[in-house]
Amino acid sequence: MKFEKMIATRDGFGEEIVALGKENPNILVVDADIGKSCKTGAFRKELPDQYLNVGIAEQNCAGVAAGLATCGKIPFVVTYAAFGSMRMCEMIRQEAAYPNLNVKLACSHGGVTPANDGASHQAIEDMGIYRTIPNMTVIMPADAVAARKLVRAAAEHDGPVYLRFTRDKVPVIYGDDETFEIGKAKLLGEGNDVAILANGDTVRLALEAAEQLAADGIKARVLDFHTIKPLDVEAVTAAIEETGKLITVEDHNILNGLGSAVCEVAAELGKGKVKRIGIQDQFGQSAPYERLLAINGVTVENIVEQAKALIG
């Protein structure tokens, strides 16, 4: 499978947040002094009156954003995923999620994409953390197009949202005419032999694996679960009922991410087999991005191998 374009999802965010800000003066960016990395430079330049740089003080970002939300503003807190989930977790829980305020967290460098920056900057726990907090919506788009569409959907959604983006460039999967709905998975491939459920930068791996499986006569259903909370339980249930064999793929700890969410549905149904592919409950290290994925088995080859093992 060949992909013509490679764009980081953080670039999709940077583009869409400018468009949203121009349309709605209540859209604000609350930056933690890393706008260059998180792609808010254009927003700062074009909409300076809607931009606040709080400095390297992520916990203050959360409080400032919550205060702005009480005044009818729609603040997007912008930082790295590791800091947006862990350093400011208590503040977001107490000041945004508990009162159900309209605060959006737009966090780049999710998963192991920080690569050579090492374990301190690699957020492998973030979506799991926010998945457990009431009122939170948790989203990771698969490409730059999905990022733009889901950032817009997040801005229109009333309530706190966590958006996770990649640092590295990832293939553009979707056309500009695609539509996205929070909480509804995207069906990218039909098949009833096995189902591959992925999100974010691993969706492209799922598509490539399905292509290889098809060459061996195995029809794999491919689903993009861009939203892991609220999870599309209907799509998971259908995959379990119609294939009985599921593989989840994610650039996140296999604990409490997409894989865990899918396993919870399977357990409640009392049927289906699920194989989780993701970060194997271990910290990352300084290494190239693809190497870090390979260390954890997040590869096309492993997806194919696990699919064949499930099918027997």
Taking residues 51-66, what's their average pLDDT? 94
Burial class (CB in 10 A: 0-12, 13-18, 19+), 19: middle
Q: Which of 3, 6, 41 is nearest to 21 (CA)?
A: 41
Burial class (CB in 10 A: 0-12, 13-18, 19+), 110: buried
Of residues 117 and 248, which shows the higher confidence score? 248
- At residue 4 the predicted structure's pLDDT band, cuts being 50, 70 and 90, is confident
pLDDT digits (tens, 9 = 90+) for 158-177: 999 999 999 889 999 999 99
Of residues 195 and 312, which shows the higher confidence score? 195
294 Cβ partners below 8 Å, 6+ apart?
A: none
Taking residues 290-309, what's their average pLDDT? 96
Q: What is the pLDDT of residue 115?
A: 79
Whether 264 is catalytic: no
Q: What is the pLDDT of residue 99?
A: 97
Q: What is the pLDDT of residue 187?
A: 98
Taking residues 200-204, what's their average pLDDT? 96
pLDDT digits (tens, 9 = 90+) for 77-106: 999 999 999 999 999 999 999 999 999 999
- Please tell me the distance from the alpha carbon of residue 140 to that of residue 202, in angstroms, as a whole number: 10
Q: Is the pLDDT of residue 279 over 90?
A: yes
Cα Rg for the chain, rounded, in angstroms? 19
Considering the candidates 15, 23, 46, 58, report the single residue annotated as catalytic: 58
Instruction: Tell me the domains of the chain and their CATH numbers.
Output: 7-171 (3.40.50.970), 186-311 (3.40.50.920)
Q: Is the pLDDT of residue 1 over 70?
A: no
Token code pair at residue 197:
């459920």
- At residue 128 the predicted structure's pLDDT band, cuts being 50, 70 and 90, is very high
Q: What is the pLDDT of residue 66?
A: 97
Tell me whether the omega of the peptide bond preceding residue 230 falls within 30 degrees of 0, making it cis.
yes
77 Cβ partners below 8 Å, 6+ apart?
A: 30, 32, 61, 62, 65, 84, 88, 103, 104, 105, 106
- Please tell me the distance from the alpha carbon of residue 245 to that of residue 77, in angstroms, as a whole number: 39
Mapping DSSP to helix (H, G, I), strand (E, B) and coil, where does residue 308 land?
A: helix
Q: What is the mean pLDDT of the chain?
A: 95
Burial class (CB in 10 A: 0-12, 13-18, 19+), 80: buried
Q: What percent of the chain has pLDDT over 90?
A: 90
- Please tell me the distance from the alpha carbon of residue 100 to that of residue 230, in angstroms, as a whole number: 15
What is this structure's pTM?
0.96
